[in-house]
Structure 1
Amino acid sequence: MLQLESLSDRTRMPQLTKTAVLVIGGAEDKVHGREILHTFFARAGAADARIAIFPSASREPTIIGDRYRSIFEEMGAKVIKVLDIREREQAEDPHFQEFIQECTGVFLTGGDQLRLCGLLADTPLIEKMRMRVHSGEITLAGTSAGAAVMGHHMIAGGGSGECPNRSLVDMATGLGIIPEVIVDQHFHNRNRMSRLMSAIAAHPDRLGIGIDEDTCAMFEKDGILQVMGKGTVTIIDPGKMSHTNHAAVSATEPVSLHNLQVHILGYGDRYHLHQRCIFPPEA
């Protein structure tokens, strides 16, 4: 996650010269402008990109892997490999590890985040990938389930449309790429505000990130995230929260959260992950 480049308006792409982590809310445009996917492709090296695709979250990994392969082939990536891992033992394959060591971009597809973590978490392959992401050597993108796994604490499932309560969200351990955050996806599209608030009530030392469909929170190495796509990114910041009854109520009783900060970020808006402050779009 490197120095943020400027973005002037919706009609111009940001300067795409640095690695980043792209956390995508799902259902990203795969047909028309493909802004988010083009951004990943460019950040991964454009014509020199060597892209690894993990379709492991999907129940149809061959179909989804081939779909993204064809997209990045059409864009002109130099090398594309689908790492179709269906058993944990495959993550120890030396050919897979060799490609992760030499690739410039990794794409995690959608599906079931529990399946993805069950197959890949704590494997040598993912540890190698995480080290290269944190050292700024590769660009990583995850969509839908691939976005949910980015934090240390992961939303594994739950309901929607209710007031915040403990039973509304099921938590598990993610891949810890951006450990400070808890990510929820398809956010406003599936009415998941209360679900993310319930997760933050249980883990008030984290930052909630809710990402709409066809929307991306792009994290740079300097700690700034920038929004792109058609929807919004919701930030739930419990840093100044003065009270919650989370530990005192039953699983189905409403959870109180006092003095919670909520930010809704649109296209081009930027937010500093560590300073917890907003920057307007650059002129």
Structure 2
Amino acid sequence: MKIFKQLTIVILLISLSCKSKQNISVKKDNLPEGKIVKNTAKGKLFVIGGGKISKSLIEELISTSNLRDDDFIVILPMASEEPDSAAYYAKKGFVEAGINPDKIKAFNLKKEQQSIYQIDSIKRASLVYITGGDQNLFMSQILHTPAYDAIHTAYQNGATIAGTSAGAAVMSREMITGIEYKHSQYSGNFRTIESENFEIKEGLGLLPSAIIDQHFIYRMRMNRLLAVVLEHPDKKAIGINESTAIIVHGNSAVVAGESQVIILKNPNKNSIKTKNGLLGGENILIDILLPGEKFKL
């Protein structure tokens, strides 16, 4: 009986320890593993680096989506702290580009409040547009929900999934959240290339072979993306500047808009070095692509 009580106490302590560990914030989340296979989705991705979105870029988005008279657009503004305003201005841009306002729906989805009508609308939409804001806010309402699955279904069936700024960041499977572990006070400047500094969480996973950064050249985010590609050598790291987009179809992409796209590749996984928390590496490849230029994913 005494041995039984001791075993019970040990099991209880182990259980409490596990629960405690689950509440501790870790620097690297356990992201879903799996072999990256050829992209067989019928749809396209239109990934915008944020900033001012010109009428011509919106028109190119509409053209990419191949909208017909009976098609409609769904706007998802959950990344914004003011989702109603974000939805209003996104809709305004589409209307000014010639879209019938009756063909535009906006859903401020909540994780526990997703109606059958909303989910069905996302699945049947020809264009799903994710606004800017905070990518963490968006994923907090979408991850592991019917809406997450509906976005993937729409993409597989031929819809264009578009996003700007935070809406661009969520396209990756490994998503840059914007949080620095070693410099908690956000300043907008990334002055170091350090190991285990940038938080990565699970995004939508529509672009599993790459990690997206936005506002890239304008906000001088090269140090951040260098750190990311050093620590994730199996991914292409793609920095999209403001007023610029990449249009992804299958395993290829083309640059659209007004500025450049930076692509970083780390072909030598064994070249990664750390010293006193600093990251180092050799033979990092960089491409600077102009509007109209294509690249492989």
TM-score by length of 1: 0.82
- Is the 8 Å Cα contact of residues 44 and 50 (structure 1) preserved in structure 2? no
CA deviations 1:155-180 (Å, max 9, x no partner) are: 10146342311254221111101111
Q: Measure the CA separation in 1 of the matches of 2:43 and 2:97.
A: 18
Aligned match of 1:88: 111
Q: Measure the CA separation in 1 of the matches of 2:293 and 2:270.
A: 27
Aligned match of 1:268: 292
| Aligned counterpart for 1:146 among listed residues 167, 179, 182 | 167
Aligned match of 1:67: 89
Q: CA deviation at 1:226?
A: 0.5
Residue 192 of structure 1 aligns to which amino acid in structure 2? Answer: R
Q: CA deviation at 1:66?
A: 0.8
- Is the 8 Å Cα contact of residues 25 and 185 (structure 1) preserved in structure 2? yes
Asked if 1:28 corresponds to 2:52, the answer is yes
Q: Measure the CA separation in 1 of the matches of 2:270 and 2:291.
A: 31
Asked if 1:192 corresponds to 2:214, the answer is no
Aligned match of 1:109: 131
Percent identity (aligned): 30
Asked if 1:257 corresponds to 2:281, the answer is yes
Q: CA deviation at 1:29?
A: 2.3
Is the alpha carbon distance of 1:261 and 1:198 closer, same or farther for their aligned partners in structure 2, counting shifts above 3 Å? same
Secondary structure of the structure 2 residue equivalent to 1:72: helix
Residue 88 of structure 1 aligns to which amino acid in structure 2? Answer: K
Q: Measure the CA separation in 2 of the matches of 1:264 and 1:271.
A: 11
Is the alpha carbon distance of 1:242 and 1:166 closer, same or farther for their aligned partners in structure 2, counting shifts above 3 Å? closer
- Is the 8 Å Cα contact of residues 120 and 150 (structure 2) preserved in structure 1? no
Aligned match of 1:120: 142
Q: Measure the CA separation in 2 of the matches of 1:28 and 1:227.
A: 16
| Aligned counterpart for 1:235 among listed residues 248, 257, 263 | 263
Q: Which runs of 5+ in 2 are unaligned?
A: 1-38, 181-187
- Is the 8 Å Cα contact of residues 88 and 120 (structure 1) preserved in structure 2? yes
- Is the 8 Å Cα contact of residues 57 and 113 (structure 1) preserved in structure 2? yes
Q: Measure the CA separation in 1 of the matches of 2:232 and 2:268.
A: 14
Aligned match of 2:205: 176
- Is the 8 Å Cα contact of residues 183 and 210 (structure 1) preserved in structure 2? yes
Q: Which of the two has higher C-alpha Rg?
A: 2
- Is the 8 Å Cα contact of residues 271 and 281 (structure 2) preserved in structure 1? yes
Secondary structure of the structure 2 residue equivalent to 1:46: coil
- Is the 8 Å Cα contact of residues 216 and 228 (structure 1) preserved in structure 2? yes
Asked if 1:208 corresponds to 2:224, the answer is no
Secondary structure of the structure 2 residue equivalent to 1:191: coil
TM-score by length of 2: 0.78
Secondary structure of the structure 2 residue equivalent to 1:111: coil
Q: Measure the CA separation in 2 of the matches of 1:126 and 1:36.
A: 26
- Is the 8 Å Cα contact of residues 47 and 77 (structure 1) preserved in structure 2? no
Q: Measure the CA separation in 2 of the matches of 1:165 and 1:156.
A: 16
How many equivalent pairs are there?
248
Residue 253 of structure 2 aligns to which amino acid in structure 1? Answer: L
Q: Measure the CA separation in 2 of the matches of 1:133 and 1:47.
A: 17
